Every structure is written in C-alpha cells, then in structure tokens.
Amino acid sequence: MTDIQKIAAIGGGVIGGGWVARFLLNGFDVSVYDPAPEARQRTEAMIEHGARALNKLTMIPLPKRGNLTFCDNLQDAVSDAGFIQESAPERLALKQSILKEIDHHAPSDALICSSTSGLMPTDLQKDLRHPERLMVGHPFNPVYLLPLVEICGGDLTSDQAKKTASDFYTSIGMKPLILRKEIDAFLADRIMEAYWREALWLVKDGVATVEEIDDAIRYGAGLRWAMMGTFQVYRVAGGDNGMRHFLSQFGPSLKWPWTKLMDVPDLDDDLINTIAEQSDDQANGMSIQQLEEKRDDGLVAILQALKNENWGAGNILKDYEKILYEKAVRQAQEKTVDYSKPIELHETTVNPGWVDYNGHMNESRYLQVFCDATDALFRHLGMDQEYVKAGHSIYTVETHIRHIQEVSQGKPIAVKTQLLGADEKRLRMLHILYRIDTEEVLATGEHLHVDMNASSACPFKPELKAAIDLMWTHHKKLPVPNYTGKGIRSLTG
C-alpha cells in the first residue's frame, strides 16, 4: 500500500474527469488543473456519473469523498501531490511541455502517470529532472468503472515506481497490467485500432451500416470478450484436441483476404459524414447522457454478474469490495452484535439472475436469501466447517414465508433475524427481509431447523449450544410478532 494522500489531475476531459471521479470517490483529495473554461462543470458532472455508477456497483459503503480543489495554475495543483495523473491532449510536444512543468513543481518523489493512449513514455520522460517516476497509466472509458489500466514504463522508469503505481491503482479497484515492452499504442489500443480500421473499411465500402457492424459484435463475440480474450476463447473452442491442433487450422485462413488492414482507409469528410449520420440513426433518439447511463448500468450489471461467477473482471470487483469492506470496518470500528434486538448478519442486492420476466425477484429467491441469512447466523454461532465435517448438519424441516412486497433487480436488501425458540437440537427462527434504502419489509420467513445428527445422547455440540443459549436468553425477551406460529387459513366462500 502506498502513502499517497493527495492527488493532482492535470486535464479534466472525458479521461481526466473520469480519473478525478475515481480518485475522489475512493476518498482521496484531488486538485485539478485544466485551463478550459468548461472544465470545472464537466469534471463535476463526471463525478456525479461516477458516484451514480459506483453506488450501484457495490453495497459496501464507499469511503468518505475526498476534497476537490480546482486550481488556477499547474503549480498549485501539483506542489503537494504524491501522485499526478496527466490527461492532456494527445500531442507529443504539448505533453512533453506539461510533464516538464509537473516535474519541476511536484515533490521529487511524487509519481507521474500519463493517460496517453499511445505516445511512448521514453519520449515523454527524456527531458525530466526525475524521469524515473514517469510512466504511462493508460485507463479506459468510463475510467470510474472499467478496471483495466495499462502501465508502461520508458527506458528511464524505475521498477519501484511501476510497482508503487500498480499497488495504488489496485487499491482503488483497478486491474493494472504492467507491460514488458514499450510499444506504440500499448496492448489494448492496438487491438481496438485493428477492429476500428476494419470497421471503417466496412462502412467506406458500403458493406454495412455502423449499426449492423456494432450488432455483429455485441450479439456474438463481444459477449465472450467480456469474459475471455481471443486466445482463451480459441482454447475452449479447440476442445480436447488442444490449442496446438486448433491453431494449426488457422494457417490457411491467415492468407485469405479476411481483412483489408493491409491498407488504411482515408478518413475524409465523406466517410466522416456517412458514419456520423448512420450513428445518429443508430442512437434512435437516445441522448448522449441516456446512452452513457445505459452503458454504465450495463457495465455495472455485467461486473456484478461476473462477480457471482468468480471470474475475470468480477474478481477485481470482489477484491475491491474486500478493500472497501476493510476500510468500512476500520471507519466504523468493530461491529458489535447487540442481542437486545433482532440481529443483522446478511445483506445483498437483488441479483440479475434472480428476477423473473416481470422484473421482480422470483419468489424462490426470497427463500434463498433466508437460507443465506440462516447460514450467516450459524457461522456467527460457531458452526464452522469443522462442525459439518464432524457429521453434524442442520436441516430445515419447516418454512413459512409471508410475501409482502415485490422488489426489483439491484435493490439493496438485508435480513433481521430473531430466535423464536431453541432446545437441545432444534432452532426456531424468524427472518424479516427488508429493503435497506426504503426500510420497507418485503417478506417474513419462519423456520424450524433440526440438527440431524443430534440425538438425546448427542445434542448440539456444547460450544454451539452455549452460543445459542446466550442469544436465546436475550431473544426470548423480545416481543413475538402475532403472525408467527399460524398456518395458511382456509378460504371461505
């Protein structure tokens, strides 16, 4: 972990503003310098987009926002910064001059990362006094949401600087990829550029519209690329015959005229007009802001879906949530369980896979959430893996659910749990499911659990029994809702 407290952002456009949002929402103080008159408004809007997206992305509370300062000159922004992110326009001479000014005014050990999409760090650092702390830190739009950041050092960049930048980016939820070699456009943009040039040809040659070309990706290969790059995709497609065998089939097709990329299309006014007009058609009346929110909501949903699959970008989110959780725990001190009221051990959001065709959480998922809350309670009481391995397993014999309110995808939900009874081998409990944001009660679940391997000779293990007894001593004093213990009544009439 780094000791970076204060960050300077030089440039507040789409990329720079995205950086500011990510830094600030992760609790860092940020000074911004951007001479454009609209920079302040644009950056503030970007922060609100970022806040909207990150608050949907995770239920774990974000740290308290850092302080945001807009500076009138570069010197004020960088003079006390431990980390500087430069996102100026993509012109080599301009960037060189800005970086030189940063180098001059910043503390000599402050890290400097350039957001450039393709300029070489060796060219960017050559006139600096402290070139060893300059590298490329290339993010992807929206910067507050996409995990990837390519780190590329130049000839003079130190390994320690790259390592420190990588740790810092990781701490704010990113996936740093440290490049082995310096190359124009790094890795991702080379592939994006190949795609882009081919797509331009398809429009220029009148083969397809921009909407058709986009559809050819987003309904097919693009869905896979959210999970796996092309090498892993081909490994799977190759099946048990192996990657080597699969690859050998590609020999011939590489000679076929399957791309026009031997040549570069001329992006003249005609082609620009064609694309701009087709793009207007494709947008079908949606404003940029509407498209942007759709993009963010979709990315949030995809990241959450992948988190539940323990895969790729979802694992980055999971790691990020651990960091956030630790921060939250530290900020709130140790959470002590208070047995004088129903306890809360489980919270989640309504998963994309849990909703039925009308957009509400399917009724069986209510029970799933109650089961998860029961598991959390059992763990809290000390029923760990050892207990299960010793042949004990607590079985649910009866469940009574009262559905009260529907709830839709993404809503934050939590469960309060009250013990209604406990004896040598049985537990009776009440779960109350509610929405965290509105406090509406969604359902109640009443459950009877029995330790299947308990017998009169072998009831709950003593330590577990003691923990249950302690909780029950308090919970038996709580008022018992009058809907418990009742069955489903006959219909009359």
Stretch 19-58 residues interacting with its own copies (CB under 8 A): none
Does 431 help bind its own copies (rule: CB under 8 A)? no
449, containing H or E segment:
strand 441-451
List binders of its own copies among 462-491 (CB under 8 A). 484-491
List binders of its own copies among 320-339 (CB under 8 A). 321, 325
Does 442 help bind its own copies (rule: CB under 8 A)? no
List binders of its own copies among 187-246 (CB under 8 A). 187-200, 202, 205-208, 210-233, 235-240, 242-244
Show the binding pattern over residues 443-462: x = contacts its own copies (CB under 8 A), - = does not: ---xxx--------------
For the four alpha carbons of 60, 334, 330 and 381, in that order, the dihedral sign comes to negative
Would you say 59 or 71 has its CB closer to its own copies?
A: 59
C-alpha span between 190 and 182 (Å, rounded): 13
For the bound state, the minimum distance from the C-beta of residue 6 to its own copies, rounded and expressed in Å, comes to 27
From 426, 435, 461, 474, residue interacting with its own copies (rule: CB under 8 A): 426
For the bound state, the minimum distance from the C-beta of residue 360 to its own copies, rounded and expressed in Å, comes to 9
From 122, 368, 382, 461, residue interacting with its own copies (rule: CB under 8 A): 368
Contacts of 264 (CB under 8 A, 6+ apart): 197
Dihedral of the CA atoms 211, 217, 218, 223 (nearest 10)?
A: 180
Angle between helix 39-57 and 14-25 (nearest 10): 50
Does 299 help bind its own copies (rule: CB under 8 A)? yes
Q: Which amino acid is at 19?
A: W
For the bound state, the minimum distance from the C-beta of residue 25 to its own copies, rounded and expressed in Å, comes to 19
Would you say 77 or 200 has its CB closer to its own copies?
A: 200
The residue range among 65-73, 106-114, 334-342, 393-401 that interacts with its own copies, by the rule CB under 8 A, is: 393-401
Would you say 159 or 424 has its CB closer to its own copies?
A: 424
The residue range among 3-11, 337-345, 354-362, 457-465 that interacts with its own copies, by the rule CB under 8 A, is: 354-362
ω into 142 cis (within 30 of 0): yes
C-alpha span between 397 and 425 (Å, rounded): 12
Show the binding pattern over residues 83-102: x = contacts its own copies (CB under 8 A), - = does not: -------x------------
The residue range among 77-85, 154-162, 172-180, 431-439 that interacts with its own copies, by the rule CB under 8 A, is: 172-180
The dihedral region occupied by 485, where left means phi > 0, alpha psi between -120 and 50, and beta the remainder, is: left
394, containing H or E segment:
strand 394-403
- For 467, counting Cβ atoms within 10 Å of its Cβ (0-12 exposed, 13-18 middle, 19+ buried), the class is middle
Q: Are residues 179 and 146 in contact, defined by beta-carbon separation less than 8 angstroms?
A: no
From 100, 126, 400, 474, residue interacting with its own copies (rule: CB under 8 A): 400
From 36, 94, 329, 388, residue interacting with its own copies (rule: CB under 8 A): 388
List binders of its own copies among 111-140 (CB under 8 A). 117-118, 140
For the bound state, the minimum distance from the C-beta of residue 31 to its own copies, rounded and expressed in Å, comes to 23
Show the binding pattern over residues 1-20: x = contacts its own copies (CB under 8 A), - = does not: -------------x------
C-alpha span between 286 and 294 (Å, rounded): 10
Would you say 70 or 225 has its CB closer to its own copies?
A: 225
For the bound state, the minimum distance from the C-beta of residue 68 to its own copies, rounded and expressed in Å, comes to 20
For the bound state, the minimum distance from the C-beta of residue 384 to its own copies, rounded and expressed in Å, comes to 13
Would you say 37 or 257 has its CB closer to its own copies?
A: 257
Copy the structure tokens of residue 195. Answer: 């795609």
b/e per residue 275-310 (b: at least 16 CB within 10 A): beebeeebeeeeeeeeeeeeebeebbbbbbbbbeee
Q: Are residues 75 and 67 in contact, defined by beta-carbon separation less than 8 angstroms?
A: no
Dihedral of the CA atoms 200, 201, 203, 207 (nearest 10)?
A: -150
Does 307 help bind its own copies (rule: CB under 8 A)? yes
From 64, 353, 386, 390, residue interacting with its own copies (rule: CB under 8 A): 353
Q: Which amino acid is at 270?
A: D
Number of residues that bind its own copies (CB under 8 A): 175
- C-alpha of 205 from chain center: 39
Does 347 help bind its own copies (rule: CB under 8 A)? no
List binders of its own copies among 238-297 (CB under 8 A). 238-240, 242-244, 247-248, 250-251, 253-265, 267, 272-273, 275-276, 278-280, 282-283, 288, 291-292, 294-295, 297
For the bound state, the minimum distance from the C-beta of residue 258 to its own copies, rounded and expressed in Å, comes to 4
Q: According to the 3-state scheme, what is the secondary structure of 395-429?
A: EEEEEEEEECCCCECCCEEEEEEEEEEECCCEEEE
Q: Which amino acid is at 102?
A: I
For the bound state, the minimum distance from the C-beta of residue 167 to its own copies, rounded and expressed in Å, comes to 17
Residue among 396, 450, 386 nearest 423 (CA): 450
